[in-house]
A and B are shown apart, each in its own frame.
Chain A
Amino acid sequence: MTLAFTLCSINYLAQARTLGDSLRRTNPHIRFIIGLVDRLDVAQVPTDMLPDFELLELHNIGISGLQEMCEHYNITELNTAVKPYFFRYFFEQISQVSNVIYFDPDIIVYQPLTELENLLQKHDFVLTPHLATPIDDQLTPNELHHLNTGVYNLGFIALRKSPEAIDFVKWWAEKLFNECKIDLCNGLFVDQNWVNFAPIFWNNVHVEKHPGWNAAYWNLHERSFSSKEGTHSVNNLPVMFFHYSGYDPAKPNIISKYQNRFTFEQRPDLIALFEFYRAELLRNHNAYYRQFSCFYIKSEPVYKYQRVREFLKKPFEKWLAKL
């Protein structure tokens, strides 16, 4: 049995529902679970607003030291840090599971995942690179940006329940317990940079470069899209799943807040894909879910008097730089 899951807090449930709907349309045989990094009982989401998908709340998967993780991480870090713990839960607790696929909530699956399931018969891991071909300009993001954040995008990873994958998940969980930070100078970028090690420490890792897999703002330079009768294609191949990272339906003119390479005017080929996504998010109550703040995350402390602080720090910083 193949299981697919996503991870989010209540504020991203419109995205998770959209992903779930797409899987139900294209891959009804795949069991889909939303891993919820939040508490429904505390948030008091009315029953009619709960997604019509299996929900598995973080506190129910048996992470020892969860409290410590929550104190240590912000919302992005926590949502990514728990990924291997969910993989471990599915491998250990759901006996029929043979494959587990993770999708970021802001993904839509457009086609049956037959090829992926075939690959998982032969491989223990399937990953997708951010870029399959070089990118020559130095706009954002460019090749340099993925060198300290990870060459594979962890919005998608598929694992076969095998000794190699189980060993990987165990290692990954250990790492992410306290090193799922964004700290580029020290080699850390959430769960993603660690996965650079996957093809090195383990064997049987497949890296899929099909342009229809995990197409997203970071690889638009090598992918040109078209739509015909509701079917989306990329470089004349079907779009398998598109990753709408950094897109906000409240700002429909922006492809992603994380990129400055393309606008919709330059890339009209993207309009159909994004119009569909926007309509799906609105239908799935995006504005409603966005109001919820995550139970696990305390608000970031606000430090006032920044200028005074900078002034006071200056002599010490100068001294430190001289050492």
Chain B
Amino acid sequence: MASQTLIFTVCTVAQLPFTKVLGDSLPPNISFKIGIVDANRTVFDSRTISLNELPMSEIQSLQQRYDEASLIAASKPFFADFFLQTKQYQTLIYVDPTVFFIGDIGAIVQVIKNYDIVLTPRITHKFGKTPYGDEKMFLNTGMYDSGFWAIRQSDNTLQFLKWWKERLFDRAHFNLCEGMNHEQLWLNYVPIFFKNVLVNKNIGWNLALHNLHERAVTFSENEWKVNQTEKLIFVNFRECLSFPKALNTTIQASGFDSIRKIYLANLTQYISRPPSIFSVRSALFPQISPWKRFLKQQLQSIIDSISHFPLYHKITK
């Protein structure tokens, strides 16, 4: 049965070291493929498949239209469609290249037996504000995490992929003001439009920087657990490779640092410095020097004053 399940990820050639660590964390009996989006592929590995190789007419337009991060995002359902329809896999699990499996992947395979589509929410509890951000930051970036989703072969699933492909063909940019956050924000519709969707709130799935404030990790009796209740199944390190000092407390308090060190040690076997990868938090809060921040604030204040002179009108965010 395991061969009917495929785990796949999508990245650039430069990001391949992540996929090596991901591959090492998978059990040997599970199929694993890596979609590569670069126009000119420079690796030859039986596990990789190039976006150019997909027999789909839209690919060239995608490559012309998008930057790297958008192209990776937009191509996911195209790869998925290829694996389901051409390669006839029964179950697909997409994970970001920066995912690392710690617990039993069988738990995911078991759940997807009963649903067509499985998603995970990025957070599961209200929290107000943390060093990562506040709740409204999730409102325009998406309720469900696009770093993991699992689907099962069915007409319903194929409809979902068709729908997603059509949207991502021209609307997979990163432009929050226009309601676009790559492929992720579109997932908000999935539990509404499609049948047999599970939103899995299990806190042992998809541990990541954005939900660390609600999850404490502990290791006892040879097992990693989250909040001492759920088994830790997998972690996405996408936003943990480098992060501002303000988040250090969150990482320390969650007991996460030890897992992060294990991951980074694994990664250094393949590359000395982690390759760059898109992070929504870094895009929203770019790390800039204090003088630049000050200058920006001053300029904005001059612009606001010109707009509203001589009346003071409360400007709020």
Residues of A within 8 A of B (CB): 71-72, 129, 131-134, 136, 143-149, 151, 171, 175, 178-179, 181, 183-188, 193-194, 196-197, 199-201, 207, 209, 301, 303, 309, 312-313, 316-317, 319-320, 323
Contacts and interface: CB of A to CB of B under 8 A. Distances in A.
Interface residues of B, number: 47
Contacts of B307: 303, 309, 313
Nearest to A143: B189
B160 to A, nearest CB: 10
B316 A312 contact: no
B113 interface: no
A193 B185 CA distance: 13
- Top 7 A-B pairs, shortest CB-CB distance: A187-B140, A187-B139, A147-B179, A148-B179, A187-B136, A185-B177, A320-B299
Contacts, number: 117
Given A193-B139, A196-B139, A319 B177 contact: no
Most buried by A among B138, B186, B300, B306: B306
Most buried by A among B136, B163, B176: B136
Given A194-B139, A201-B126, A323-B295, A185 B166 contact: no
9 contacts: A72-B314, A147-B180, A148-B139, A179-B136, A187-B176, A197-B126, A303-B307, A320-B303, A323-B292
Contact of B136 (A129, A186, A312): A186
B87 interface: no
Contacts of A179: 136
A143 B167 contact: yes
A312 B123 contact: no
A147 B121 contact: no
Contact of A72 (B141, B199, B306, B316): B316
B278 interface: no
Nearest to B121: A200
A132 B139 contact: no
Contacts of B136: 179, 186-188
A147 B199 contact: no
